[in-house]
Amino acid sequence: MELGLFSLSLTVKDINKSKTFYEALGFEAMPSCGSVEDKWLMMKNGTTMIGLFEGMFEDNIMTFNPSDVRALQANLVEQGIALDVPVKGDSGPGHLIVKDPDGNAIMFDQF
């Protein structure tokens, strides 16, 4: 099962302060991947990616970017894994969310 790129989606209280903090750690904002004005922003340092999200969700989320989220969903369902948020639609961009046995959210986001 190919999961694609991995990033940690962090819920933040003040995206400006968080952006400044992560820039001090060497992260750079990724062009055309959100903005401070949009209240979400993807940042990268080498091969490490994080997303900063202000007011979009309550907890941090592990995020993977598979090439085919619908095939991944079918595989998870076949294995008996419950879907918190299933993929909507039959094609194009989409995402699904599952929780691990400890309640940690994992999002699979195809764009």
- Domain holding 88: CATH number? 3.10.180.10
Torsion sign across C-alpha atoms 4, 6, 11, 14? negative
Model pLDDT, residue 1: 81
With a CB cutoff of 8 Å and minimum separation 6, the contacts of 73 are 83, 86, 87, 96, 108
Name the residue range of residue 89's domain. 5-110
Residues lower than pLDDT 50 in the chain: none
Model pLDDT, residue 32: 86
Q: What is the pTM of this model?
A: 0.85
Model pLDDT, residue 80: 97
With a CB cutoff of 8 Å and minimum separation 6, the contacts of 89 are none
Domain count, the chain: 1
Residue 69 host element (H or E) = helix 69-78
